[in-house]
Amino acid sequence: MSIEDDIGFLASVPTFRLLGPGALRILAIGCESRSLDSGDVLFRADEPADCGYVVQEGAFRLDSGRPDGPLVSVGPGVLLGEMALLIDTIRPVTATATEPSTVMRIPRQLFLKMLEGFPDAAFRLRDHLASRALETAEDIAQVRAHLDIGR
């Protein structure tokens, strides 16, 4: 893929779409591509996370390792480890390739440097994350209200 193809692909990822082409160019130039075979583990639950991954091709099974935890499958265009791009965190799931797959690895340091160089992108990202946090809080409040009614 060319850099322009990578920029276009990154622009298809919802969180990255709002960053703008200049910021995406930095990410496309600085990211690392990694190929995995079916059955290869991309990362394991409870490991420290220092990067995000965007699935370019293939698919991954996400498994929390808990008996009650759901198995989720994800494919191209999905960003794994979004919060790891911003803060020190631990992987909540194990990601295993279910077919030959390719990911773009975006190191946290690259992402943070990009945000320093593109403050407008940082503001848009902040606003987007704040909006999602508010939606989550509202969803939790609705669930709580339904649970309180059942008492």
Asked if pLDDT for residue 143 goes beyond 90, the answer is no
The pLDDT of residue 91 is 97
Mean pLDDT, residues 106-114 taken together = 97
What average pLDDT score do residues 25-33 get?
96
The pair of structure tokens assigned to 120 is 């407008």
Round the average pLDDT of the chain to a whole number and report it: 92
CA distance linking residue 23 with residue 52, whole number of Å? 16
Cα gap 55→1, rounded to integer Å: 14
How confident is residue 113, by pLDDT bands cut at 50, 70 and 90?
Answer: very high
Q: How confident is the model at residue 151 (pLDDT cuts 50, 70, 90)?
A: low
Residue with tokens 């999905």: 78
Question: Is a pLDDT exceeding 80 seen at residue 69?
Answer: no
What does the chain look like in DSSP terms, one character per residue? --HHHHHHHHHTSHHHHTT-HHHHHHHHHH-EEEEE-TT-EEE-TTSEE-EEEEEEES-EEEE-S-TTSPEEEE-TTPEE-TGGGTS-EE--SEEEESSSEEEEEEEHHHHHHHHHH-HHHHHHHHHHHHHHHHHHHHHHHHHHHHHHHT-
Per-residue pLDDT at 81 exceeds 90: yes
- The pLDDT of residue 29 is 96
Sheet holding 101-107, edge to edge: 32-36, 101-107, 51-57, 79-80
Q: Note whether 140 and 93 are within 8 A (CB).
A: no
* pTM of the entire predicted model: 0.87
Residue 150: pLDDT over 80: no
